[in-house]
Amino acid sequence: MTKTAYPVAKNPLILRFHRLMDAFAKSDDERDFYLDKVEGFLLFIDLDKSQSDLDALEKEFLETGDRYLLIPKMTYYESKKFMEGFINEKVYDIDTKEKLLDIVQSKEARENFLEFVYDHLTELEKWPQYYTERSRNRIIEWLRQHELRFVFEEDLEMAKLLIEKLKKHLFDAKVPRDVSAAREVLVAKSSVYYSNEALNPRPKRGRPPKQVVKVELDPQITLDIYTTVPPAARYFLYAPDIVSATAVTFSARFDTEADLLASLRGSSRVKVDEKLQALSERLESLRHISSRLSDLREMGGSEGEEKLMKAVTELVPEEGEDKRGIMDVVKDFLPGRQKATPRTPEQAAEQRPMKTVTPIKQKRGKKS
C-alpha cells in the first residue's frame, strides 16, 4: 500500500447518520463496510459481485487503502451491551426484566429479543429511541477516535439546494457567498460533536419553554454528489435512502424493519392487532350512532320523531294517517301479553267437570 495525495475538503464532511447507523448494525463477520475519509461515501463489499469486480476493488485497496476506514463489527458482546443496557435502564416491570435477561443469554438472542419487544407495546415505545441514542453515541465516538471533521446531514437546518452546493464545491477554494457562509455554519456545527454534551447532553435548567405545537415536516433527502470515487469502487457504493431511524433494525437476519414485521405475521402480536382493529371499528360505529341520536335530540319534537319513523319504516308499517310517537314505535318491538286461544264447543264439552267438596262442619260440644 503506497501513500497517495488526496484532495483536502474545505469544510467538514456531510455524513448521513441513518446510513452509518444501518452500516454499523449490519457489519458482522460476513459483511464488510468501509467509510471513505476523503469524501464520506460508504462502501459495502458485496461478495455476490463478479470476481473481476472484486479483484479490481482489492487492487484499489492495495494502492489507496489508507483512505478507507473499516466499520466496526457488531459482535455478540456489542449487541449484548445494547440489550442489557435497555433492560437495566428502560424496563421497570420485574417479570418482564427477568424474561428479557433470560432471552439475552439464549441462542439467537437478538432475534428473540426483538420478537419479545415487538409483542409488548410498552417496551416497543421505548426501544427505538434508546437504540437510536446509543447508536449515535457509538458512531460519534468512533468518528472522533479517527479525528474526522464531520456533521450529520439530519442535524442540518439548511435548504436542500444549499446542502447540495456544499457537496458539489467540497474541494473548491473559491465559492459563492452563500456557500462560504454555509461553510462557517458547518464548522461551528462540527465542533459540537467533539464536546462533552454530544455524548452526555445535560438537561436544560430554568423555566421550561412554552408548549408549541410541533409541525412535522417531511424529511428532505439531498442528492449524493461524489467526485472522487475510484472506478473500481463505484460498483460497491452503499447509498440506501433511509429517511428515519425506525427503518433501521437491530436484527442480524433482516435488513429492514418491514422484513422483520413480515416475519412476525401469525404471531400473537398480529392477532392482537386484528382484535384491536375490530374493536376500533365497533367503537367507530357506536360513535356514529351516538352522533345520529344527538342530532335527533337537538331537532326535538315531531321532526325528530319523523326521522326515527323513517329509519324504522321498513320494519314497522304505518297504521292510519296519524303520526305515532317514539313510545308507540317501541311498544311494537316489545312482546305482548299472550291471549287465551278460543275453544270449540266439542273441546268445552269434553272438559272434565270440576269436583266440588263439601266443607266439614265441626259440632260444638254440649255445655255441662
φ, ψ at 44 (rounded to 5°)? -120, 120
At 271 the pLDDT is: 47
**Percent over 90 (pLDDT), the chain:** 44
The predicted-structure confidence for 100-113, as pLDDT tens digits, reads as follows 999 999 888 888 89
pLDDT digits (tens, 9 = 90+) for 134-166: 999 999 999 999 999 999 999 999 999 999 999
Q: Give the mean model confidence (pLDDT) for residues 317-333.
A: 52
**Which pLDDT does position 268 carry in this prediction?**
46
**DSSP E strands, 28-167:** 33-36, 42-44, 68-70, 150-152
pTM (two decimals): 0.67
Which whole-number Å values give the CA distances from 346 to 325, 340, 343, in the listed order?
A: 45, 17, 8
Give the dihedral of Cα atoms 10, 35, 241, 181; nearest 10 deg: -10
With a cut of 50, say whether residue 316 has pLDDT above it: no
Helix (H) or strand (E) holding 14: strand 13-15
- pLDDT tens for 223-271 read 999 999 999 999 999 998 887 777 777 776 666 666 666 766 545 444 4
